[in-house]
Structure 1
Amino acid sequence: MQIDHGSRQPYYAQIVTGIEQDIAHGVLQSGEQLPSVREMARQHLLNPNTVSKAYKRLETQQIIETVPGKGTYVKVVDSTLFRQELREQFTQIVRLAGQRGVSIAELHGWLDQMGEK
């Protein structure tokens, strides 16, 4: 994760985005421990309050969790539950698309394009 000190995006938002991207790209794994607030602040030359704000935002989004006295970790996700929730959301999207005239074939095309990236 990199912090762009010249960016207009707030530092805490850059941390949130950076951690989300690191998880999405497999750089951070489920259950992996994150640096402490103070360590993260030291690594990126930031105020600890800024890192704390980012961690709190990620906790609210249920992306990370803090275990008192042990540290902060990438939240372990129950893959069965995740798949069920994802399927429900996908079903809603497909229904909405159909109501708006988007065909299943067109949705397939979009998925194929996304898979190529």
Structure 2
Amino acid sequence: MFELDMRSRKPIYEQLVDKMKELIMNEVLKPDEQVPSVRTLATELTINPNTIQKAYRELETQGFIYSIKGKGSFVNPNHKIRDSEKIKTIKQELEKLILEALFIGISVNELIQTIQELDSAKGGGDEND
């Protein structure tokens, strides 16, 4: 399904959370689709099942997946619900990155062009919600 960087300083469970979120947001994993079981994914990625479980708990806390006892975990069809606290955090992080980009000499036009390219490639924005 995807690969993790075992040499990265970023914890494996965080990498897993990010990859799963990316798959969900890009609709590779469809709403109400079952995600791989902890055991299956642990075998596939050759990592500890507890790491997978921790990542799934985090995804559930963030509202990207939900669990049904005895059945497994599934993609939450309401993952697009806007969480104001999450939006606030993302805007703060984005502000820091934009200021850094401007400081090192990336022009405003380059930033705008990058955003527009990402928007058209990902199909983001309110029009597609």
Q: Quick check: TM above 0.5?
A: yes
- SS of the residue aligned with 1:62? coil
Distance 2:48 2:21 in 1: 20
Aligned residues: 95
Distance 1:54 1:113 in 2: 30
Shift in Å at residue 114 of structure 1?
Answer: 2.4
Unaligned residue ranges in structure 2 (runs of 5+): 92-110, 119-129
Indicate the RMSD between aligned Cα atoms, in angstroms.
Answer: 2.7
Does structure 1 conserve the Cα–Cα contact (< 8 Å) formed by 2:17 and 2:59? yes
TM (normalized to structure 2)? Answer: 0.63
Show the 5 A alignment for 1:19-98. 19-77=20-78, 82=81, 85=82
Distance 1:78 1:41 in 2: 24
- SS of the residue aligned with 1:34? coil
Partner of 2:4: 3
- SS of the residue aligned with 2:3? coil
Distance 2:79 2:43 in 1: 33
1:26-70 CA-partner distances (Å, limit 9, x unpaired): 211111111111111101000000000000011111111110111
Task: Decide which structure has the larger Cα Rg and report it.
Answer: 1
1:2-48 CA-partner distances (Å, limit 9, x unpaired): 11112111110111000011112221111111111111110100000
Amino acid at match of 1:34: V
